[in-house]
């Protein structure tokens, strides 16, 4: 089986990093608008690991538009005797796009960080 997911949206909040053993994991929460229903927004968690996560933590802030590509992962756990689950994207690449706070006079191009 093969899973590949691509989303484009704006960061709903600043990236949050944590340690998973020896590895750094950065969580991005991406707000994705529905093309057909303008008022509908989905918030999708994207996990960026190791160097990719470090770069995202360093350069991204709330409001920045990104394109994230990776595989869909489902976490499952039990809380108060009830099974729960959550889908998120484990990022392979994150491309920094234009967005809130972008310096319009800058000659820098969008950057893609594959790891």
For the chain, which residues make up each domain, given as ranges?
A: 5-109
Looking at residue 97, what is its pLDDT? Answer: 93
Determine which of 29-38, 43-52, 67-76, 81-90 has the lowest per-residue pLDDT on average. 29-38
Q: Does the pLDDT value for residue 104 go beyond 50? A: no
Q: Does the pLDDT value for residue 109 go beyond 80? A: no
Q: Does the pLDDT value for residue 60 go beyond 80? A: yes
31 to 13, 67, 77: CA distances (angstroms): 9, 11, 25
Span between the terminal Cα atoms of the chain, in Å:
22
Looking at residue 108, what is its pLDDT? Answer: 42
Q: Does the pLDDT value for residue 105 go beyond 50? A: no
Is 5-109 in CATH node 2.40.30.10? Answer: no
Average pLDDT over residues 73-86: 94
pLDDT classification of 107: cutoffs 50, 70, 90: very low
């Amino acid at each position: 089986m093969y899973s590949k997911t691509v989303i484009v949206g704006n960061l709903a909040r600043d990236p949050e990093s944590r340690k998973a053993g020896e590895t750094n994991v950065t969580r991005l929460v991406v707000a994705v608008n529905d093309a057909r229903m303008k008022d509908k927004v989905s918030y999708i968690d994207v996990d960026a690991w190791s160097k990719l996560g470090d770069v995202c933590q360093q350069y991204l802030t709330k409001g920045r538009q990104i394109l994230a590509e990776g595989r869909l992962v489902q976490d499952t756990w039990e809380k108060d005797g009830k099974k729960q689950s959550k889908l998120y994207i484990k990022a392979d690449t994150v491309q920094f796009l234009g967005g809130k706070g972008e310096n319009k006079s800058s000659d820098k191009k969008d950057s893609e960080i594959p790891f």
